[in-house]
Amino acid sequence: MLSLLLLLYWTFTKIGLFTLGGGYAMIPLMEAEIINRYGWLTAPEFLDILAIAEMTPGPVAINTASFVGFRVAGIAGSALATLGVVTPSLVILLLLGRFLQQLIRNPHATLFLKGLHPAVIALICLAVFSLGQEALTDLTTALIAAVFLAVNLMRKLSPFLIIGLGALLGLLFFPY
């Protein structure tokens, strides 16, 4: 059990360390580690956890780490996965905190961040494509997603409204 807990911590530390751009940019790396490398979850289980992580308050990366850790190794797993995903950011912020103002004004840092923006967008698109293949399994789910996307592109909807309506449509169209 101890080796599993250490592996959870190390896995989520790597995810937190090697992913810039926040929770959504972490999804491809989480998918690669959690589903493909260790087989801790299936793709549908991972999608369910992502949906729950999105609905609950807090950053999606921390929520996902908490839920995955709990699913894999209970409360201790949840605590260590969560600690793992935040450790790199905490350490980097503590080390760079005194130099942050100088770093922000540095033209090389600005160019570095400008180069990161398209990479982060690419990672988010990869996550959408990869998880979309798992989630859009039939015409009904594809139509619901298309309608939400079209309406949201025309008129920005609240994420709470989209989640609530999605849950309601799930109950209506996918009864037991």
Cβ neighbour number for residue 86 with a 10 Å cutoff:
17
Please give the average per-residue pLDDT across 122-128, as a whole number.
80
Assess contact for 137 and 38: CB atoms under 8 A. no
- Per the model's pLDDT, the better-predicted residue between 78 and 91 turns out to be 78
Q: Which residues of 127-166 are buried (b: 16+ CB within 10 A; e: fewer)?
A: beebbeeebeeeeebeebeeebeeeeeeeeeeeeeeeeeb
Tell me whether residue 160 is in a domain.
no
Tell me whether residue 25 is in a domain.
yes
- Name the maximum alpha-carbon separation found in the chain: 58
- Per the model's pLDDT, the better-predicted residue between 25 and 3 turns out to be 3
pLDDT at position 137 is 83
> Residue 58: left (phi > 0), alpha (psi -120 to 50), or beta?
left
Judged by average pLDDT, the poorest of 17-21, 56-60, 122-126, 137-141 is 17-21
- Per the model's pLDDT, the better-predicted residue between 128 and 14 turns out to be 14
Tell me whether residue 171 is in a domain.
no
Q: Domain of 40?
A: 2-106
Tell me whether residue 111 is in a domain.
no
Number of structural domains in the chain: 1
Tell me whether residue 27 is in a domain.
yes
Whether residue 66 is predicted with pLDDT greater than 90 in this model: the reply is: yes
Tell me whether residue 128 is in a domain.
no
Q: Coil, helix or strand for 59?
A: coil
Rounded-to-integer distance, Cα 85 and Cα 165, Å: 31
Tell me whether residue 112 is in a domain.
no
Res. 21 pLDDT band, cuts 50 70 90: low
Please give the average per-residue pLDDT across 5-15, as a whole number.
95
Q: What is the pTM of this model?
A: 0.68
Please give the average per-residue pLDDT across 117-134, as a whole number.
81
Rounded-to-integer distance, Cα 119 and Cα 115, Å: 7
pLDDT at position 13 is 95
Tell me whether residue 6 is in a domain.
yes
Among candidate residues 41, 85, 43, 35, the one with its CA nearest the CA of residue 65: 85
